Amino acid sequence: MADVRVQFYGHVRQYHNLKTEIDNAITEVLESGSYVMGPKDKQFEGELAIHMGMKHAIGCNSGTDAIWLAFRALGIGPGDEVITTSNTFWATAEAIWIVGATAVLVDIEPRTRNIDVTKIQEKITPKTKAIVPVHLYGQCAEMDAIWEIAKKHNLLVVEDCAQAIGARGDTFKIGDQSDAVCMSFITAKNLGTFGDGGAVVTNRDDIVEPIRKLCNHGSNKRSVHSFGFNSRLDEIHAAILSVKLKHIDRWNDLRIARAADYAELLAGTKITLPYVKPGYRHVFHLYVIETPKRDDLQEYLKEQGIIALTNYPIAIHQQEGYPPFGLGDPHPTLPHTERNAAECLSLPLYPELTREEAKIVADAILEWERKSG
Ligand SMILES: Cc1ncc(COP(=O)(O)O)c(C=O)c1O
């Protein structure tokens, strides 16, 4: 393979750009002697809630935990059906199965590749308890339509916002009318720590203490326990996230600028470029193109020293482990999801990517197209 000219991830560059601030934050935690459930977690939770314009944030160990902790606090469990999409990372559905509920998968709207809101209604049964929209690749699902359906059928709404901190809809903000919004802070996310982290963000006062207890072995008082788990946001990660949160709006702007570069440089190609809904702020966690010759293009880029990856080449319902415990329709009909799985290719995109690097990628794609016809 050729030497790598354009990397897929930018987090090491990001670390170098913020090295002093991050090293100082970590050192401060190390010197403090307080590594879990300390002041840095509290501070970050407050900052995150303000950034999202919501009342509460509760740090936890991962985005996956955030989703199922929210489910448990909201009373979602065995016998319940939860509607979501199959074009997502496995963890969205995994969280549904962890609480013993059934994942009901809806096809995507082909342009945004988010859940098709016109197909939700037909999947609602007396057992349906919640809808879990995923703001995939950094663009919000159509929350106004989803909230309307949820209200009509008395359903809970838990947003999977792992990929979309800072995104917005045209007339709505993430979380406006939802029961919970779940965040992931794993390294490559728009806001990522150097390891795992997550949070539940909510306007509901009644689920805050239950989630805090669940995260801490069912305890909010020393030596007193009820049923729970261990899922806490470590102080080192909270301190790193506080440093990085200050930069998130600027980083998202840079992602949007590089996405605009790709759109300009690739105008006129036959490959399908990401679609941004009018009025939406798409924060481009991933820049996912589509082409029927995806594998061929990915290989060609690799030969040119450009790393492109796939999100998600095997949809949830196509995974060998689907549906665990029989908690899902084994053969759902999801043609748009399956086409996206076969054709999607994620180009390098991160705030530290330069326009020159985006041009190297775009030129290679144009060259491939000329050669492959
Ligand atoms: C859409 C989506 N949901 C959930 C998760 C799970 O987050 P985590 O890896 O922090 O558990 C991720 C990311 O990994 C994700 O991309």
pLDDT tens for each residue of 110-164: 999 999 999 999 999 999 999 999 999 999 999 999 999 999 999 999 999 999 9
Per DSSP, the three-state class of 231 is coil
Residue 343 CB less than 6 A away from ligand 1? no
CA of 83 to the centre of ligand 1 (A): 17
**pLDDT at position 1, please?**
66
Residue 114 in contact with ligand 1 by CB distance below 6 A:
no
Q: How far is the CA of 188 from the centre of ligand 1 (A)?
A: 10
Mutate to test the pocket of ligand 1, among 89, 134, 346 (most ligand atoms within 8 A of CB): 89
The region that residue 23 occupies, defined by phi over 0 for left and psi between -120 and 50 for alpha, beta otherwise, is alpha
Determine whether the shortest distance from the Cβ of 62 to ligand 1 is under 6 A: yes
H helices present in the chain, as ranges: 11-17, 19-32, 39-52, 63-73, 90-98, 143-153, 208-215, 235-245, 248-265, 294-303, 335-343, 355-372
In angstroms, what is the span from residue 194 Cα to ligand 1's centroid?
Answer: 15
Ligand 1 pocket member 88 (CB < 6 A): yes
Ligand 1 atom with the smallest distance to the CA of 184 is: 10
Q: For residue 64, which atom of ligand 1 is closest to its CA?
A: 11
Q: How far is the CA of 366 from the centre of ligand 1 (A)?
A: 32
Report in angstroms the alpha-carbon separations of 157 from 109, 143, 208: 19, 10, 16
Residue 182, classed as helix, strand or coil, is strand
pTM exceeds 0.75 for this model: yes
Cα 96 to ligand 1 centroid, rounded to whole Å: 13
Answer yes or no: are the C-beta atoms of 168 and 174 closer than 8 Å. Answer: yes
Low-confidence ranges of the chain (pLDDT < 50): none
CB 89 less than 6 A from any atom of ligand 1? yes
Q: How far is the CA of 189 from the centre of ligand 1 (A)?
A: 9
Residue with CA nearest ligand 1 atom 8: 63
Does 87 sit in the ligand 1 pocket, CB within 6 Å?
Answer: no
Give the dihedral sign, CA 76/78/80/85: positive
Cα dihedral 118/120/122/127 (nearest 10): -170
185 touches 159 (CB < 8 A): no
Q: Is the CB of 233 under 6 A from ligand 1?
A: no
**pLDDT for the residue 2:** 80
Find the 88 Cα to ligand 1 centroid distance in Å: 9
